[in-house]
Amino acid sequence: MSVGLVGRTAIKAERLRPGEGAAFHVLAGQVVQVVALDGKQAASLVAFAGPDNREHLSVAQTRARNNSIMLELGMSLYSNRDSALLQVIEDSVQRHDLLHPLDSQAARTTDDTGKSLVSRLAEFGVSADDLPDPVNLFMKVSILQRGAIEIQESLAEKGDSVMLLALTDCVVGIAALPGKYGGDAATNPDVMVRVFQ
């Protein structure tokens, strides 16, 4: 068992196929775990604090406060009001993206199943227009010569995970991305999201 989960109990869990989303109300002190079940997967994470949803995850503020375009163990994710929302407490991949926007197909569109990120966040009063740029977990993005950005195959292997400690009460949304952002687009591996108290 992971050190970060010792003494904790899973209270919510959801398996997400590519293009599906989930949203959870997470209390301060609880832990969100995102698992690449088969490897080579990527998932986008957004977060909102406060009852009006106007305070939200800011990747620009996160980059500035951590002085890095790479998310590392121990770093916090910051809001547009400069508050720390979540902290990385365990990470078996250590490669995540803070540059790429939300994938419109996977996250912004609604669907009849009600499993898109937009549909799930609507339960918490968040609209598509409220969505901030995400932290893209397990996504490997490289900066090439002259500033070009290239998305490469995810480094996540089967069972790899990242765990984030909630530093304040917030709503966390996760969208599993299509294979073009992780590995083989034909396999489209799933991700598991769990919340522990």
Residue at 2 is within a domain: no
d(CA 136, CA 75) in angstroms, rounded, equals 15
**In the structure, what pLDDT confidence band is assigned to residue 65 with cuts at 50, 70 and 90?**
very high
> Mean pLDDT, to the nearest integer, of 8-17?
96
At 115 the pLDDT is 86
d(CA 120, CA 93) in angstroms, rounded, equals 27
Query: What does R_g of the chain's alpha carbons equal in angstroms?
Result: 15
Residue at 52 is within a domain: yes
> Would you state the structure tokens that stand for residue 121, as one six-digit string?
């966040």
d(CA 11, CA 7) in angstroms, rounded, equals 13
Range of the domain at 87: 19-182
Give yes or no for residue 183 having a pLDDT over 70.
no
Residue at 7 is within a domain: no
Distances (CA, A) of 5 to 77, 137, 162, 174: 20, 19, 12, 20
Residue at 135 is within a domain: yes
**In the structure, what pLDDT confidence band is assigned to residue 118 with cuts at 50, 70 and 90?**
very high
Q: Report the predicted TM-score, pTM, of the whole model to 2 decimal places.
A: 0.91
Residue at 12 is within a domain: no
The CB density around residue 156, as the number of other CB atoms within 10 Å, is: 31
Distances (CA, A) of 41 to 32, 35, 163, 174, 177: 17, 9, 16, 13, 7
At 181 the pLDDT is 65
Residue at 191 is within a domain: no
Counting the structural domains of the chain, the total is 1
Residue at 143 is within a domain: yes
- Pairing assessment for the beta strands 21-26 and 135-137 based on DSSP bridges: unpaired
Q: What is the pLDDT of residues 81-109, one digit of tens each?
A: 999 999 999 999 999 999 999 987 666 55
Residue at 41 is within a domain: yes
At 3 the pLDDT is 76
